[in-house]
Amino acid sequence: MEAVGAPDLNHVSGQVGLEAKEQPIFTTRAHVFQIDPSTKKNWVPASKQAVTVSYFYDVTRSSYRIISVDGAKVIINSTITPNMTFTKTSQKFGQWADSRANTVFGLGFSSEQQLTKFAEKFQEVKEAARVARDRSQEKIETSSNHSQASSVNGTDDEKASHTGPADTHLKSENDKLKIALTQSAANVKKWEIELQTLRESNARLTTALQESAASVEQWKRQFSICRDENDRLRNKIDELEEQCSEINKEKEKNSQLKHRIEELESELREKETELKDLRKQSEIIPQLMSECEYVSEKLEAAERDNQNLEDKVQSLKTDIEESKYRQRHLKVELKNFLEVLDGKIDDLHDFRRGLSKLGTDN
């Protein structure tokens, strides 16, 4: 965003009521926002894009306004007072509250530098508005004091002595107003020159319009001929479109038939492949049957061998049971024999002790 020149005063003045003595003193571009009146929190865009925002100074009233126009819509018309404050809320965004408009305006700039310039100008204009207000109050107080002094003293000399400073101040203000009026007159003269230029341009346009009016009938006839030719061509196009539609339908049918033929050919190739596979399988069927018979014979022989093995296993199981039974019987007999043997051994010991005793006695 860059500072731009002064806006079109003729266009702006018609929308916001600018007077001839109200001149732009600073202009920039920014995105304009207003606070949402319902929530008082959210920002609502007042412009779809960056628009011109200008400070205007009214020489007559010594007042300042911020004005912005988007097309034919006035989006900012805020008179600056000493009580207003411009606040920077971010590097590229600032806001101020306008109690008269009962809203809060926000400006979004494309650079921090532009925001700083606008804020500095706001502070400068605010200070100027304060000075103008103080001067106005001084004028009122001076006038009031002068009235009171005149009523008390009642002499012409005293009146002159009290009104001297006020007249000097009013004369200074009058000189300033004359300078502003001179500048305004110069601007009015410039606008009159521009108006005369516009009038001459309008005259040339009127002449051109009159010259072109003569050829309107000819253009109407040519237009009628072209319209008839256009209708004929449209009818021809409609016929061609109908023919094209029929051709497209035939093409679509041919495409469908072609696709169906391709599918049938593919199925035919698959069936032929299956048939070849079946033929190959039929050639190896006798060999497979021979192998099957051989395997069957082997299987029967294996079954016979298995049966024999099962019989042998059963016989071995029977022999094992008998051997276990004999082992148990032998264990019982061996146990009985050992018990008898123990008894005999005990008797032999007793007999030996008896013999030893007898030998000792003899």
pLDDT per residue, tens digit, the chain (362 aa), is 434 444 454 555 555 555 556 788 999 999 999 998 888 888 999 988 899 999 999 888 888 999 998 888 889 999 999 889 999 999 999 999 998 888 999 999 999 999 999 999 999 999 988 888 888 777 776 666 555 555 444 444 444 444 456 667 777 777 777 787 777 667 777 777 767 776 776 676 666 566 656 556 777 787 888 888 888 888 989 888 888 888 888 888 888 999 999 999 999 999 999 988 888 877 888 888 888 888 989 999 989 999 999 999 998 999 899 989 988 998 998 999 898 998 889 888 888 888 888 888 76
The confidence score (pLDDT) of residue 354 equals 85
* Separation between Cα atoms, residue 336 and residue 117, nearest integer Å: 132
H or E, element range at 66? strand 63-70
The confidence score (pLDDT) of residue 207 equals 63
359 φ, ψ (degrees, to nearest 5): -65, -35
The confidence score (pLDDT) of residue 6 equals 42
The confidence score (pLDDT) of residue 27 equals 93
The confidence score (pLDDT) of residue 202 equals 66
Burial of 105 (0-12, 13-18, 19+ CB in 10 A): buried
Token pair, residue 121, equals: 């100008």
Global pTM value = 0.39
Residues 6+ apart with CB under 8 A from 108: 30, 31, 33, 92, 93
79 φ, ψ (degrees, to nearest 5): -85, 125
